[in-house]
Structure 1
Amino acid sequence: MDLEKPSREQPRRASGQPRHVPEEPGGCLAVAVRIPVRIVVLVLVVPVRMLWDALVVSGRFLNDVLLRPLGRTLLWLARAVFVWPFVGLWRYVAVPVGRALAWLGHVLLVVPAVWLYRHLLTPLGRAAAWVARGLWAALGWVYSGLLAPVGQAVMWVVRGLGAVLAALGSGLWTGAARLAKYLVVVPALLLYTWVLVPVGRAVARCVRGLVWLVSTVVGGVGTGLYWIARILFVLPALAVWRWVLAPVGRVLAVVGREVGDALGHAWRVAGHVSLAVGRFLATVFRWIFVEPVRWVYRRVLTPVGHAVRDAVLRPAAEAARAAGRAARQALAAARESARQARADLRRMLFGGPSRPRSAALGEPSGREPRTLGSSTTALTKD
């Protein structure tokens, strides 16, 4: 088993041997076409890829800044103009009106119809069914007691007449059959056997000979036309295809494959170039515009804003709050003074409020609860 195992396994590559790299198909023609095509395509594709990346970035910026907010605004306006009015109309007008109409239809149509069916149509139907059952019973008695015996008697008479007519007709049919056999069938059989069959066989032989002659002529003409067409059209076309079109097609296939590979390679390289250019422009824009604006905001505007907030806005807010508190206190004092003045005027005009009289001594001020030692009757009171 150990001796057979290396023969079954695939040969392993030694560690010192170089790895074989498969060559690209196409040969010297592909190698001769590849480098110039890739250079030309790279020169042509780089501006297109950069323009494409610029358009993509511009489209994304417009989508995020303009189109998406505009679309949301238009969607909200469309809902406010078209959807919400119809929803309100449906919810607060159409549904209540529909329920009211349904209730009216139930009261005006369904309830009278149910009452009419229950108290008028049902008794009439039952009466009509009872009358129909009586008529059916009467018709059954007329059929079984009168019509059935009369029909049986008529059928007996008809069967007797049919038997008599059948006996007479069988004799007439036998005579007519014998006359037809000797006057029509036998002469027709003789005519078919001794006249029509020989004539038909002769006509069939003539037709077969004519068909063989025509097929032979047509086959010869067809064979000649086939070889003429093969020599004049098929063989030249085959030679043109084999010796002209196939090599040209192979060359064009190699060129097309190389052009496609070059376009893909150039598009990827142009993507890296466009990414590097975009990063460079972004860095330049950041150092020229963003960083100065950030420095101005952080080093100038923020301290100025803090100083304005601490020196102007906060004291102004404190003064405004103090003025508001003073105004509220003044208004509260004025309202209290007005309330006291109205109370004094009311007391001067109508007098003070009446005080409740004190209860008489010895009378309870309210109902006392009952206990075991007390009673509410006059006889048991102490």
Structure 2
Amino acid sequence: MHTPPFCPNPDCRHHHHHTRTRAEKARVGTWFWRKGLRHTACAGSHQRYQCIACKRFFTERTFSIDYRVHRTVSYRDLIRDISSRVSLAATHRNRGISPAIRRNRVGRLARNCIALHAECRPYLTTPEDLIADGFVSLEVSQYYPCNLHILIGKDSEYLFAMDHVTIRRTGRMSPRQKIRQAEVEAVYRPAPDGIITSFTRILHSMAWLVLQWEPEDPVQLITDNKKEYPDAISRCEEAHRLLSDQSLGWRHISSNHHRGPGGPMFAMDNFDRELRKDMAAYVRETVTFRRNVQNAMESVQVYRMYHNFLKPYRVRGEASAKRWQRAGLPAKLVKRRLKTLCVRRAFLSHYPDIPEEDLRVWKRHLYTPGQLKQQLPWQYIVA
């Protein structure tokens, strides 16, 4: 018989019942009543409950990733499509689903992937040098380029953090293109300090890692010579303090430096190549670029999970090794979480330490240029 792990009400005292010890659970006793069955055409009959403390009604399906859906979709097929350069239209045709269903299911899967990374974050205890760089692509149109700031381990190639920012189009343009750019920027003009703000969020995650590691030797932060990076470090007090204490070193690499295997930024270059190879939206000269920033970043979060936990570190040689193993994560934790990744629903209130860049994706705070109204999160997303 199914037993609910906790009360889904974030304001209830039994909301964190699953974290209590066996003695605490015995002292609390029964905290819910069984209230018959609820029948749905999609999932059939399932048990209904009521919390004794807050009187909230819920069912066993409340804890499922398919909570409040009317049609089931294979999440493993979605992971396979996202990481295999399958376009959105091809996914709709092959899976027989509508665009709205796909967006909804990828969003649910992305939040579970964010929760997976947040739960594994405290167990990242293997110090290594870090590489930070930006991945440039476009979304909505060529007049709205985007920059994905990425923090990756030099040795493990584990993707620690990722943040999105929309930037202005630069470079040579024809007179007609300049007129068109003025028209689109009259609707929405990216913030002039967007790169600095975005990279500052990455630096906060980097500083958190270094403080957790407490390494004997200074951790090296490897970046290129982008002019906005010094301003971002001056904004991040933790990173500035680590540099002053010599717990962190900052190494600048020229864009003309060797980029092949053995190069100082090879891990980042290799991830850029894999992202363009595996995701249809980021292939060069693609016509399948994303029209919605929020949906694009949810797909990227799913690919981040695939890169860190499912994809082999190398095709040859260490075929069985994964990047989470090289980052030092405990196998028992990872295997347990991967087993429930496509089954259990993640609750935001159970993950108070989610980094800001991931929290923006979870709460659907990313703005699409030209969007007429803000995408408000559904109530069950922020529960």
- Please classify the TM superposition score into its range, dividing by the shorter chain length: under 0.3
Task: Output the TM-score relative to the length of structure 2.
Answer: 0.11
Higher helix share: 1
Name the larger-Rg structure. 1
Higher strand share: 2
Task: Output the TM-score relative to the length of structure 1.
Answer: 0.11
Tell me: higher relative CO, structure 1 or 2? Use CA pairs within 8 A at least 6 residues apart. Answer: 1
